[in-house]
Structure 1
Amino acid sequence: MAQARQDVTVSKGQIQKAPARVVSPFEDMERMFDDFLGRRWPQPLRWERPFAAELAAIAPKVDVVDRDNEVLVRFEVPGVKKEDLEVSVSGTMLTLRGETKHEEKEEKGDYHRAEISRGAFVRTLTLPAEVDEAKAKASLEDGVLELTLPKVEQSKRRAIKID
């Protein structure tokens, strides 16, 4: 069942520095190998800090597309309601804050496995160009938050003729 498209407010403001993301120093190389081979490396070959997987599970994954006149940003936020998301832009910095809330219901029995992450998250990233936050559009559909951020005039791509 498809969810209805929802608008999300984008605000301009001071960006608070996000907590440092725990990242393996080999993350980019691991990602290239994963893309090339189509599988994850066995755990003994991976170097990770304690709880890195748990911290990464809360931070939403993101796609950033740099187009001629705009920047398109998509965040994976499954199960997060529009009311629990806050987007802010300042210059080339974009911050998404949100929270996944725990349902209060009684579970009978003991958990055999509990992997669903709940709690607050913040994801801050640098955009490839300065954007006009007043013209920004945001929508939430099927667990994907999509932001369309028009570039300011001086940030738009243009061809330069070589003499």
Structure 2
Amino acid sequence: MILSAATIVAALGLSGCSPDAPESTAPSTTASAPVAAPQPTGLPEASVLIDLLNRLSDPALPGTDKLALVEGATTTDAADLDRFAKALQDNRMLPMAYTATDVAWSPDTPGDVTANVTATPADAGAGPFSFPMEFTAKAGAWQLSRKTADLLLSLGGQAANSTAVPTPTSTR
């Protein structure tokens, strides 16, 4: 959307530069639009995306502090973010090691970025898994797209219910 808006503004600006267009000397009476927060201008480094994922999966960081990491997150999402990190912790998946490869502009959402993320749980028995993720820029920083966050939070809830590891018991 940001890229489309910039393209439209550029096209309008260029069309006003035509030599056939009369020059206007009258002052403008329209109010200027609010200035948007600066957006990242290039693809993020993989380390930026990995840091975001580490913060999202950190059970020591409250869900309310993670809201800025997810596109469109509201205070009602904080509990889901807490449950997601708790499920990872309860299933001995933390600390999770992330890698992000093939970082590229999204073909579906202009201005967004896609990456293939591989997560390797601390519990060696779980094995690594890969997941394509989408990230969006807001206020000069990267966030997990709402679409990807909804998928992860859903997976987090399922993981907590379906893959719980039993606690070893003593036979003495």
TM bucket (normalised to shorter chain) is: under 0.3
Larger Rg: 2
More strand by share: 1
Q: Which has the higher contact order (CA 8 A, sep 6+)?
A: 1
More helix by share: 2
Question: TM-score with structure 1 length normalisation?
Answer: 0.24
Question: TM-score with structure 2 length normalisation?
Answer: 0.23
